[in-house]
Structure formats: structure tokens, C-alpha cells
Amino acid sequence: MVDRISPLAALAAAAPTIAAARLAAPPPLARVTLRTAAPLALPIGQPLNRALIAGDIASLRLGPDEYLLLAPDLAPILAATTGQPAAAVDISHRQTAITLTGPHAADVLNAFCALDLALSAFPPGMCTRTLLAKAEIILWRTASDAFHIEVARSFAPYVWQCLEEGRLEFA
């Protein structure tokens, strides 16, 4: 397990409970950006802007040769990428995650994000780099009513507050 505390722990503890759209700061993850065109012992090769999970590793394909790998620990990522023709950079301390779940999660996101988040346009497993208000995020739809948001640690409180503001409509 990555030995860190989320920079959003205090905000998460103070967040009101709104069942229509729940915000959470998940446990810290290991994060690696990977640039490669070679097949690895990972679920890469998936279509662009899609995420796949194999074992403990989630692989988000963000570009033709760009992947974001997420895992509870760095060891499985390193084991899968060692000895391969790839550029792997540990960005675990640069980013953090926010999860948004509930029947109105997409509506809350759309208060600050212009993407079409209808299930037909952005189904589960889809991921992309986009903007939420003025912050760059990586948005991954993990289920029909659930999103995983990757954001730079310095922008995390700002993104959290935007999402809190969007949730107020459903309080």
C-alpha cells in the first residue's frame, strides 16, 4: 500500500452526506505514466480513451502510446513494466483521486465539465483527459453511476469544492 494520506482527508471527513451524489477521497494509489507502443504484461492495447483492469492494475489509455497505470502498490506495476521498451514515470506524489458516485454523479460533473456524460456517449470504462472548471483532470467512468477523477494534488481542493457546489443542487 502506498504510504500517504490523501490531501483531501479533512474535506472528505467534513463533507455532507448527499445520497444523490457522494464524494469520497479513496485510499492513496501508486500511479505511473507509461509511454510505449510495445505489448506488456498489462492490459494495454485497449482502444483509446478506455480503461481496463487486470489483477491489481488499472490501465487507462489516454493517447496512442500513453497510459496511466493505477494500483494499490507500485510493485505490480514495476514487475509488469521491467525490461520492456517503455518510459515509465512514477507520479504517485503528483496526483490524487476523488470518487463521485450516485444517481446524479454525471449531473454534478456537468455543472463544471462540458463533456457529454450520457451513458451512450461516455459509457463505463471510458476515460479521458479534460477540464473541470479550470483544472485539468483525468475522468474515468467506473460504473454507470460512478466516476474516478485523477487530479493534481495542488488542484484537488479546488476540484473538490467545485464538486461540492454541484452537489448542493441535490441536497
d(CA 14, CA 137) in angstroms, rounded, equals 23
Q: Which of 43, 35, 44, 29 is nearest to 74 (CA)?
A: 29
SS3 60: strand
Question: Can you name the residues that pair with 143 across neighbouring β-strands?
Answer: 146
- The confidence score (pLDDT) of residue 3 equals 54
Q: Retrieve residue 91's grid coordinates.
A: 507520479
Contacts of 145 (CB under 8 A, 6+ apart): 101, 102, 103, 105, 106
Q: What is the pLDDT of residues 142-169, one digit of tens each?
A: 999 999 999 999 999 999 999 999 999 9
Q: Is 139 or 54 the better-scoring residue by pLDDT? A: 139
- The confidence score (pLDDT) of residue 41 equals 53
Answer for the pair 33, 93: CB distance below 8 angstroms, yes or no: no
- Predicted model pTM: 0.92
Question: How far apart, in Å, are the Cα atoms of 142 and each of 79, 86, 122, 135?
Answer: 25, 27, 11, 21
Q: What is the pLDDT of residues 24-57, one digit of tens each?
A: 999 889 999 999 876 555 555 678 999 999 889 9
d(CA 157, CA 9) in angstroms, rounded, equals 10
